[in-house]
Amino acid sequence: MVVKKLPGEKEAKSLTLDEIVDVADKLDFGRARETAIIVKDILREERARHSGLRMTGNMAYIPKGGNAIVVGDLHGDESSLVKILKETNFVERVKKGEKLTLVALGDYIDRGPQQVEVVNLLLELKRNFRDNVVMLKGDHEIQPSSENSPGAKSFLEENIKKYNDFNGGMYRQYFEVFGMLPLAAKTENGIFFFHGGVSDKINEANIAYGGSEIEKDIVWNDGRENVDGMAENTNRGIGRFFGPSVYKRALGRMSCKIGINGHEPLEKDRIERFDGKLLTINSSEIIRHMAYRNYAVGYGYVSLEGDVESVGGIFHSI
């Protein structure tokens, strides 16, 4: 399958980050719908590939080469996403032909004021730089929040407000895209990207085709260094805690050396866990303000070339 560029569409290599952000922020229903349809075609194409950036079911494979910029939970914080893209000079470097992959770990929606803009921006980046952008799904892309209060807004309400989308047409388009996103990704040099957690059932085949139980483990589970095996997740009331032994076995089955996840905002001194084999990234300043906690906010920057034995030095604060 070949994804065709629409007639008259501006060449991606001439677009600047500011222009892409401007398109995302205009909240043009027609453009947003068009981009969602194009991204769905791109994701179908990736599932048909046998090389390069590709997917098997819900498992994505990132080819060797260059570096990855890793973005954690955003929850409607477009400002932090733009700050990361500017600090890393992502668009300009890709336009110059540099091997650079943006990996977004999920939870783009709910809570913050620019949820729609965050999704639009990521989809525009995928539309224009399809081989350089990987979007994973988080729990909110599967089970969106119904919460809508002065401190936390729902994605549904934001769609109605910003598009006058009372019949849910654009909302459905977004969730069709979310449904096609992979649950996890791995690189040739042994990095495992996932939104939330693992279990003893995690392997490549089960992630690709394992169904709702595996999906629940990937997007809902949380790591705890004081847990022996698995335990009930008493914090969330859904999902489970996984301990060091379970995580170590999961990395082995995935043939990976380290893992990078999101899902759980943590203080800076807690983001590197499990003997330096797991890095947890939160990229939303909004979450820090809402929780009144000094959570670390930043992104990951990691080589996709040689061996990576530890997560040390990967995290960068913004």
Q: What is the pLDDT of residues 49-66, one digit of tens each?
A: 999 999 999 999 999 999
Q: Are 198 and 256 in contact (CB under 8 A)?
A: no
CATH of 15-317, one of 3.60.21.10, 3.40.50.620, 2.60.40.3140, 2.70.98.40: 3.60.21.10
Angle separating helix axes 17-25 and 78-88, nearest 10 degrees = 170
Kindly report the average pLDDT of the chain as a whole number.
Answer: 94
What is residue 5's predicted lDDT score, i.e. its pLDDT?
Answer: 53
CA gap 70, 47 in Å, rounded: 22
Instruction: Tell me the three state secondary structure of residue 134.
Output: strand
Q: Please give the pLDDT value at position 276.
A: 98
DSSP lists the bridge partners of residue 316 as 299
pLDDT in tens, 171-182: 999 999 999 999
- Return d(Cα 77, Cα 284) in angstroms, integer: 6
Residue 104, both tokens: 């977004």
pLDDT at 290: 82
Residue ranges with strand state E in 19-83: 54-56, 59-62, 67-71
Q: Check residue 51 and give its pLDDT.
A: 97
What pLDDT was estimated at residue 147? Answer: 62
Q: What is the pLDDT of residue 151?
A: 66
Mean pLDDT of 217-221: 98
pLDDT digit string, tens, across residues 121-143: 999 999 999 999 999 999 999 98
Q: Burial-class residue 234 by CB neighbours within 10 Å (0-12, 13-18, 19+).
A: exposed
Spans of all domains in the chain: 15-317
pLDDT tens digit sequence for 62-107: 999 999 999 999 999 999 999 999 999 999 999 999 999 999 999 9
| Closest to 283 (Cα-Cα) out of 84, 135, 143 | 84
What is the per-residue pLDDT across 257-313, written as a single tens digit (0 to 9) for each? 999 999 999 999 999 999 999 999 999 999 988 876 899 999 999 999 999 999 999
Cα separation, 175 vs 173, in Å, equals 5
